[in-house]
Chain A
């Protein structure tokens, strides 16, 4: 089967850098995605890594190591609005469904 592990909660201060880790076990691997969800809101797509290495999009970066079955989301210059839950996800099969981790709740303090 497929499973993903990520920390349940992370706390950081404004302006800091935080890293949210995700380890996965899959029968086949097509890439690692990250989604953000604010309280009361819908999940929104942040990034996708199919190959090893770092992908940067503004203040957010995502890293993948396929040999280690590991990835992380890096948030720099944290802002209060980054307080949200962050989910990693892998494709569940060839039909396009995703398997999500249980989410990491990030709290950014002043």
Chain B
């Protein structure tokens, strides 16, 4: 079974802190994704990566950056956390690089980040 793990289930940080959220997948998937989920807004894509050291902006990249130094690991970085970044952050991975039956995404359990 595919397993996607995230470094923390709950995280509390202060405004202005630099925050690292880590995600690891164990199935050699090409693609990895970071979403944030807020009530009434669904899942919004922050960044995704289709290969090591490659990244693409999603719909809401402002205030975030990412790093993918190894295929299995995709990190989300909040350079200077703000209260409006309080949210649930979900990491996902998928096998194939293009749309199709194999583009099923496997999600991690999520990190609930609170910025005070």
Contacts of A53 in B (CB 8 A): none
Return A95 CB to nearest CB of chain B, in Å: 5
Inter-subunit contact B43/A30 (CB<8 Å): no
Question: A8, A95, A101: which contacts B97 (Cβ < 8 A)?
Answer: A95
Inter-subunit contact B110/A42 (CB<8 Å): yes
Task: Knowing A42-B109, A101-B42, A102-B40 are in contact, say whether A94-B99 is a contact too (CB < 8 A).
Answer: yes
Inter-subunit contact B97/A45 (CB<8 Å): no
Contacts of B97 in A (CB 8 A): 94-96
Kindly report which residue of chain B lies nearest to residue A100, judged by CB atoms. Answer: B43
B96 lies within 8 A of chain A by Cβ: yes
Q: B30-68 CB contact bits vs A (8 Å, 1 = yes)?
A: 110101000011111100101000001010000000000
Kindly report which residue of chain A lies nearest to residue B48, judged by CB atoms. Answer: A97
Task: Knowing A30-B100, A95-B97 are in contact, say whether A8-B40 is a contact too (CB < 8 A).
Answer: yes
Return B112 CB to nearest CB of chain A, in Å: 9
The count of chain B contact residues (Cβ–Cβ below 8 Å) is: 31
Inter-subunit contact B99/A31 (CB<8 Å): yes
Q: How many A-B residue pairs have CB under 8 A?
A: 81
Return A76 CB to nearest CB of chain B, in Å: 23
Inter-subunit contact B56/A50 (CB<8 Å): no
Contacts of B43 in A (CB 8 A): 43, 87, 100, 103
27 example contacts (A-B, Cβ-Cβ < 8 A) are as follows A8-B40, A30-B98, A31-B99, A33-B104, A35-B105, A41-B109, A43-B105, A43-B107, A44-B107, A50-B101, A90-B99, A91-B98, A91-B99, A91-B100, A91-B103, A92-B45, A94-B97, A94-B98, A95-B48, A95-B56, A96-B103, A97-B33, A97-B48, A97-B58, A98-B103, A100-B44, A102-B42
Q: Give chain B's interface residues, CB within 8 Å of chain A.
A: 30-31, 33, 35, 40-45, 48, 50, 56, 58, 90, 92, 94, 96-101, 103-110
9 tightest Cβ-Cβ pairs between the two chains A and B: A30-B99, A91-B99, A102-B42, A42-B107, A100-B43, A96-B31, A45-B104, A97-B48, A95-B50
